[in-house]
Amino acid sequence: MSQSTGKVYPKTHAGRVALITGAAGALGSHFARRLAEAGCDLALTDIRIPEETIESLTHTGVRVYADAVDLADANAVRRFAEGVLNHFGHCDILVNNAAYMPLVPFAELTLEEFRRFEAINVESALVLAQTLSPVMKERGYGRIVQIGSSTTGDPRPGFAAYITTKMAGIGLVRALAAEFGNSGITVNAIHPGLTATESSRKHLPQALFDAVKDLQLIKRTEVPEDLVGVLAFLTSEEAGFITGQALNVDGGTQF
């Protein structure tokens, strides 16, 4: 079970509600705990209810609304967002963290499979923004953060669908930033490098971690804790003049 970081953070996000997709995974659970420690109430979703993440939040005293949602189902995504608004009355922060990313050889990539990448990695973010942004506009405050990927700058075989849809996500960030420019809503992206989690360590060879580390100016493997502070800043009031940006948090990777 994931534990608290042990650090004491100022309640910079007190009174805010944050929706995080992919909340059952390592990054999602770290993001949830960091925003909870900053004072956010949380709406969490994943393909399964993120029970371990919820359990790790018990010490924070925040309110949590959670449900299992297949992000490839646009109607289910919309219902979840509407449920969040009904439960809390508002939602101030949207973190599009979930990603569909199996390695699929290009010759074996079907349109049906590609469309699942597209639905989860891009369309769910669009539906959530459409559903939540009217209330954000009414309140004059919103923070939307898309979790991108450094693979868009270093394409590898087998990632055609993933990279294409991650690049589409960056296009969506810039388009939404223009749509919401004068409304108090900012829209930005974070590009992590290869991040060590239980899942990535299980499915990827150590040689890949070593190769990526050699490309970085900071010669250590990235961990989820390297990303949470950036997320906390981009979702705060202090970041109110930053929008339409994609911030690389990858140890200074040199492609």
Mean pLDDT of 16-43: 97
Task: Kindly report, residue by residue over 107-166, the tens digit of the pLDDT.
Answer: 999 999 999 999 999 999 999 999 999 999 999 999 999 999 887 777 778 889 999 999
pLDDT at 199 over 60: yes
pLDDT of amino acid 115: 97
Residue of 26, 37, 44 whose CA lies nearest to 223: 26
- Higher-confidence residue of 111 and 202: namely 111
CA atoms within 13 A on the CB side of 34: 22
Compute how many other C-beta atoms are within 10 angstroms of the C-beta atom of residue 116: 18
Q: How far, in Å, CA of 37 to CA of 112, rounded?
A: 40
The whole-angstrom separation of Cα 61 and Cα 40 is 10
Which tokens in the block code for residue 94?
A: 């949207």
Domain boundaries 17-249, corresponding CATH code: 3.40.50.720
At 2, the pLDDT band (50, 70, 90 cuts) reads very low
Residue, of 138 and 197, whose pLDDT is higher? 138
Please list, in sequence order, all residues whose beta carbon lies within 8 angstroms of the beta carbon of residue 215, skipping any fewer than 6 positions away: 253, 254, 255
Tell me what pLDDT residue 1 has: 38
Structure tokens at 7: 């650090």
**Structure tokens belonging to residue 116:** 């699942």
26 CA to centre of own chain: 11
pLDDT at res. 151: 75
Phi and psi, residue 250, nearest 5°: -140, 20
What integer best gives the mean pLDDT of the chain? Answer: 93
Residues written for the chain: 255
Closest CA to 71 of 91, 51, 46, 52: 46
pLDDT of the residue at 5 = 54
pLDDT tens, position by position, 25-34: 999 999 999 9
- Average pLDDT (43-61) is 95
Please tell me which residue in 65, 100, 141, 162 is annotated as part of the active site.
162
pLDDT at 152: 77
For the chain, give every domain's residue range. 17-249
Q: What single DSSP character describes residue 120?
A: I
Cα gap 78→62, rounded to integer Å? 24
162 is catalytic: yes
Distance CA 19, CA 96 (A): 8
For the chain, give the percent of residues with pLDDT over 90: 81
Convert the pLDDT of each residue in 210-225 to its tens digit: 988 999 999 999 999 9
